[in-house]
Amino acid sequence: MLFNREFFETDLIRHCDEKRKYSHDGSVSVRLKLTNAVEMSVLVIKQVTDSYVVFEVFPLKGSLRKHTKDDRTQGAPIFDLDRIAVPYSMIAEVEITTRQIGQQKIGFQ
């Protein structure tokens, strides 16, 4: 199966909504596995195109970075996430789970 625009615009949302029903706190985690063996935890899908998708992901190296209160009052989000554009041909697997992945404190939105 090759992932495509339709999967990320409709199917993934439907699967996440179904899994949330069985989550004790109503959250799910989405884990992306690429063909080059890189794995990442996805928080937000920022853009979907015909050939690639842009995700906000937890940092691949290091820990989650929290913006200062001053930055947040100026419109910054709570956390500084990494942003990555991935062509569909590089996506090997998308895992949707109700379990917390690693030290991740927030789930897919």
The 10s digit of each residue's pLDDT in 79-95 is 778 899 999 999 999 99
The CA-CA-CA angle for residues 104, 58, 55, to 5°, reads: 130
Class of domain 5-97: mainly beta
pTM of the shown model:
0.78
Greater model confidence, 44 or 107: 44
pLDDT tens-digit series, residues 31-74 = 999 999 999 989 889 999 999 999 999 887 767 777 788 877 88
Token digits of residue 43: 């928080």
> Which is it for strands 52-57 and 39-48: parallel, antiparallel or unpaired?
antiparallel
Report d(CA 70, CA 52) in Å as an integer.
Answer: 34
41 contact partners, CB below 8 Å, separation of at least 6: 29, 30, 31, 32, 57, 58, 101, 102, 104
So where are the chain's domains?
5-97
